[in-house]
Structure 1
Amino acid sequence: MKLFSNKRNVDGAEMSFIEHLEALRGHLFKSAVAVAIGAIIVAIYSDFIFRHILMGPAHADFFTYNFLCKASQRLGLGSKLCLAGSTVKFQSNTVSGQFGVYFNVILLGGFILAFPYVFWQFWLFFRPALTPKELKSTRGVIFWVSSLFFLGVLFGYFVIAPYTISFFSKFKLDDTIENLWTINSYFGTVVPIILGAGLAFQLPLVLYFLAKAGVVSSAFLKRSRKYAIVIMLVISGIITPPDMLSQIVCCIPLIILYEVGVLLTKKVERQEARQEVAEWS
Structure 2
Amino acid sequence: MAEQRQSSGQSAAEMRSRIREDGLMPLLEHLGELRRRLFWTILVLVVGLCIGLYYAKPLYNFVITDGPMNGVDLHTFSLWDGIGMYMKFAFLISLVLVLPFGFYQLWAFVKPALSPKEQKATLKYIPFALMMFLIGLAFAYFVIAPMAFEFTTSVSRSLGLIETYGVMQYIQFLFNILIPISLLFELPLVIMFLTKLRILNPIRLRRMRRVAYFVMVLIGTIITPPDVISDVTVAIPLLILYEISIFLSSSVYKRQQAADAAWERDFDAGSAVNES
TM-score normalized by the length of structure 2: 0.73
Give the conservation status (yes or no) of the 8 Å contact 1:38–1:114. no
Please, which runs of 5 or more residues in structure 1 have no aligned partner?
7-13, 61-85
Alignment-derived partner of residue 122 in structure 1: 105
Query: Where do residues 65-84 of structure 1 align in structure 2 (5 Å cutoff)?
Result: none
Q: C-alpha displacement at 1:116, in angstroms? A: 4.8
Task: State how far apart, in whole Å, the 1-side matches of 2:148 and 2:75 are.
Answer: 19
Alignment-derived partner of residue 276 in structure 1: 260
Alignment-derived partner of residue 42 in structure 2: 28
**Matched position secondary structure for 2:156:** coil
> Residues 217 and 112 from structure 1, CA distance in 2 versus in 1: closer, same or farther, beyond 3 angstroms?
closer
Aligned residues: CA RMSD: 3.1
Q: C-alpha displacement at 1:227, in angstroms? A: 4.4
Query: Where do residues 37-76 of structure 1 align in structure 2 (5 Å cutoff)?
Result: 37-40=51-54, 42-43=55-56, 46=57, 48-54=58-64, 56-59=66-69
Q: Does 1:92 align with 2:92?
A: no
Alignment-derived partner of residue 228 in structure 2: 244
Higher deviation after alignment, 232-241 or 112-121: 112-121
Deviations 1:47-71 (A, max 9, x none): x4223325633346xxxxxxxxxxx
Q: Does 1:219 align with 2:203?
A: yes
Task: State how far apart, in whole Å, the 1-side matches of 2:140 and 2:46 are.
Answer: 25
**Matched position secondary structure for 1:185:** helix
- Give the counterpart of 1:265 among 221, 225, 249: 249
**Percent identity (aligned):** 25
Alignment-derived partner of residue 129 in structure 2: 145
Q: C-alpha displacement at 1:174, in angstroms? A: 6.5
Task: State how far apart, in whole Å, the 2-side matches of 1:16 and 1:172 are.
Answer: 55
Q: C-alpha displacement at 1:147, in angstroms? A: 1.0
Task: State how far apart, in whole Å, the 2-side matches of 1:31 and 1:124 are.
Answer: 18
Q: C-alpha displacement at 1:194, in angstroms? A: 0.9
Task: State how far apart, in whole Å, the 1-side matches of 2:88 and 2:231 are.
Answer: 28
> Residues 205 and 101 from structure 1, CA distance in 2 versus in 1: closer, same or farther, beyond 3 angstroms?
same
Structure number with the higher helix fraction is: 2
Alignment-derived partner of residue 179 in structure 1: 163
Q: Does 1:108 align with 2:91?
A: yes
Aligned residues: 240
Task: State how far apart, in whole Å, the 2-side matches of 1:94 and 1:236 are.
Answer: 31
Q: C-alpha displacement at 1:149, in angstroms? A: 0.8
Task: State how far apart, in whole Å, the 1-side matches of 2:199 and 2:147 are.
Answer: 36
- Give the counterpart of 1:161 among 132, 145, 162: 145
Deviations 1:4-37 (A, max 9, x none): 949xxxxxxx958557645643453244324423
Amino acid at match of 1:237: T
Task: State how far apart, in whole Å, the 2-side matches of 1:31 and 1:94 are.
Answer: 27
Larger radius of gyration: 2
Please, which runs of 5 or more residues in structure 2 have no aligned partner?
1-24, 266-276
